[in-house]
Amino acid sequence: MAKAKTVYVCSECGGISPKWQGQCPHCTSWNSLSETVQAPPAANGGNHRFQALAASSGEVQVLAEVQAEEAPRDPSGSDELDRVLGGGLVRGAVILIGGDPGIGKSTLLLQTLASVGARRKVLYVTGEESAQQVALRASRLAVDAGRVRLLAEIRLEQVLAVLQSERPDVVVIDSIQTVYTDVLSSAPGSVGQVRECAAQLTRVAKQTGVTMILVGHVTKEGALAGPRVLEHIVDTVLYFEGDSHSSFRMIRAIKNRFGAVNELGVFAMTDRGLKGISNPSAIFLSSHRDEVPGSSVLVTMEGTRPLLVEIQALVDEAHGQPRRLSVGLEQNRLAMLLAVLHRHAGVACFDQDVFINAVGGVRIGEPAADLAVLLAIVSSLRNRPLPDKLVVFGEVGLAGEVRPVAHGQERLKEAAKLGFCRAIVPQANAPRQGIDGLELIPVERLEQAVDYCRS
Ligand code: TYD
Ligand code: MG
DSSP-assigned states of every residue in 246-282: SSEEEEEEEEETTS-S--EEEEEEETTEEEE-S--TT
Q: Is 103 annotated as a binding residue?
A: yes
What confidence tier does 1 reach under pLDDT thresholds 50, 70, 90?
low
Q: Is 106 annotated as a binding residue?
A: yes
Poorest-pLDDT segment among 35-44, 102-111, 159-168, 276-285: 35-44
Based on the number of CB atoms within 10 Å of its own CB, is 292 exposed (0-12), middle (13-18) or buried (19 or more)?
Answer: middle
Q: What are phi and psi of 24, to 5 degrees?
A: -70, 125
Q: What are phi and psi of 138, to 5 degrees?
A: -60, -40
Do residues 208 and 167 touch, judged by C-beta distance below 8 A?
Answer: yes
Poorest-pLDDT segment among 32-46, 126-140, 374-388: 32-46
Burial of 393-418, coded b for 16+ CB within 10 Å and e otherwise, reads: bbbbeeebbbbebebbeebbbbbbbb
pLDDT exceeds cutoff 80 at 141:
yes
Rounded average pLDDT over 381-401 = 95
Closest residue by Cα to atom 21, ligand 1, is: 273
CA distance 260 to 295: 32
pLDDT at residue 321, rounded to an integer? 93
CA distance 356 to 271: 32
Tell me the average pLDDT of the chain.
Answer: 87
Beta-carbon neighbour count of residue 40 at 10 Å?
13
Do residues 175 and 102 touch, judged by C-beta distance below 8 A?
Answer: no
Residue with the bigger pLDDT between 43 and 154: it is: 154
Topology classification of domain 74-276: Rossmann fold (3.40.50)
Pair type for strands 6-10 and 33-37? antiparallel
Ligand nearest to the CA of 143: 1
- 214 CA distance to ligand 2 centroid (A)? 11
- 386 CA distance to ligand 1 centroid (A)? 39
Check whether the bond before 175 is cis (ω within 30° of 0): yes
Do residues 250 and 98 touch, judged by C-beta distance below 8 A?
Answer: no
ipTM of the complex: 0.96
pLDDT at residue 178, rounded to an integer? 92
Pair type for strands 94-99 and 236-241? parallel
Please report, rounded to a whole number, the percentage of residues in the chain having pLDDT higher than 70.
92
pLDDT at residue 28, rounded to an integer? 87
* Residue of 104, 82, 92, 122 whose CA lies nearest to 253: 82
Residue with the bigger pLDDT between 275 and 222: it is: 275
- 330 CA distance to ligand 1 centroid (A)? 29
- 315 CA distance to ligand 2 centroid (A)? 39
DSSP 8-state symbol, 296? E
What confidence tier does 53 reach under pLDDT thresholds 50, 70, 90?
very low
pLDDT at residue 224, rounded to an integer? 56
Q: What are phi and psi of 127, to 5 degrees?
A: -115, -15
Is any ligand 1 atom within 6 A of the Cβ of residue 137?
yes
Poorest-pLDDT segment among 97-106, 132-141, 240-249: 240-249
pLDDT at residue 346, rounded to an integer? 94
Q: State which amino acid sits at residue 417.
A: K
Residue with the bigger pLDDT between 42 and 439: it is: 439
Closest residue by Cα to atom 10, ligand 1, is: 102
For the chain, helix (H) and strand (E) counts, in that order, are 11, 23
Ligand 1 test: best mutation among 81, 97, 107, 271, most atoms within 8 Å of CB?
107
Q: Is 235 annotated as a binding residue?
A: no
pLDDT at residue 303, rounded to an integer? 82
What confidence tier does 51 reach under pLDDT thresholds 50, 70, 90?
very low
Please report, rounded to a whole number, the percentage of residues in the chain having pLDDT higher than 90.
59
pLDDT at residue 392, rounded to an integer? 96
Residue with the bigger pLDDT between 245 and 389: it is: 389
Taken as a whole, the chain contains a residue count of: 455
pTM of the model: 0.80
Q: Is 104 annotated as a binding residue?
A: yes
Rounded average pLDDT over 145-164 = 94
CA distance 16 to 38: 10
pLDDT exceeds cutoff 60 at 8:
yes
Rounded average pLDDT over 103-122 = 94
pLDDT at residue 453, rounded to an integer? 86
Q: What are phi and psi of 246, to 5 degrees?
A: -90, 165
Rounded average pLDDT over 20-24 = 88
Could you tell me the CA-to-CA distances from 327 to 223, 318, 368, 419 in Å, in that order?
A: 18, 19, 16, 27
Choosing among 3.30.930.10, 3.30.230.10, 3.30.1310.10, 1.10.10.10, the CATH entry for 295-454 is: 3.30.230.10
Question: Using H for helix, E for strand and C for coil, what is the string for 139-152?
Answer: HHHCCCHHHEEEEE
Is any ligand 1 atom within 6 A of the Cβ of residue 141?
yes
Beta-carbon neighbour count of residue 260 at 10 Å?
13
Give the pLDDT confidence of 284-320 residue by residue, as tens digits.
887 766 789 999 999 999 888 899 999 999 999 999 9
CA distance 432 to 187: 64
CA atoms within 13 A on the CB side of 172: 28
